[in-house]
Amino acid sequence: MSRAELVLVAHGTRSQAGVETVAALADAVADRVGPVRTAFVDVLGPSPAEVLRDIDGPAVLVPAFLASGYHVHTDVPRGVIDSGHPRVSVTRALGPHPSLARVLEQRLRESGWRPGDSVVLAAAGSSDPRARHDVRRAAAMLSARVQREVPVAYIATGTPTVPDVVRQLRSAGERRVFVASYLLAPGLFHTRLAQSGADGVTAPLGTHRAVVDIVASRYLLAAPRVDQFENSI
Across the 233 residues of the chain, what is the mean pLDDT of every consecutive 10-residue run? 88 92 98 97 92 96 96 94 95 97 98 98 95 97 98 96 98 98 95 97 98 98 75 53
Phi, psi angles (nearest 5°) of residue 39 = -140, 160
Q: What is the pLDDT of residue 233?
A: 52
Q: How many domains does the chain have?
A: 2
**Is there a single domain that holds both residue 102 and residue 88?**
no
**Rounded CA separation 109/27 (Å):** 27
Cis peptide before 77 (omega within 30 of 0): no
3-class secondary structure, 186:
coil
Q: What is the pLDDT of residue 87?
A: 94
Q: Identify which of 130, 180, 120 has the alpha carbon closest to the alpha carbon of residue 152.
A: 120
Supply the CATH number for residue 182's domain.
3.40.50.1400
Q: What is the pLDDT of residue 232?
A: 53
**Is there a single domain that holds both residue 160 and residue 74?**
no
Q: What is the pLDDT of residue 225?
A: 77
Q: What is the pLDDT of residue 178?
A: 98
DSSP state of 162: H
Q: What is the pLDDT of residue 190?
A: 95
Structural domain including 83 reads 5-94+208-228
**Rounded CA separation 31/141 (Å):** 29
**Is there a single domain that holds both residue 182 and residue 218?**
no
Amino acid present at 19: V
DSSP state of 203: P
Note the helical H segments in 153-208: 162-171, 188-192
Asked if residue 214 lies in contact with residue 156, where contact means CB atoms within 8 angstroms, the answer is: no
Report yes or no on 216 lying in a domain.
Answer: yes
Q: What is the pLDDT of residue 113?
A: 98
**Rounded CA separation 189/13 (Å):** 10
Q: What is the pLDDT of residue 142?
A: 98
Phi-psi region of 173 (alpha: psi -120 to 50; beta: other; left: phi over 0): left
**Rounded CA separation 207/74 (Å):** 26
Report yes or no on 147 lying in a domain.
Answer: yes
**Rounded CA separation 18/196 (Å):** 20
Whether this prediction's pTM lies above 0.85 is answered by yes
Q: What is the pLDDT of residue 186?
A: 95
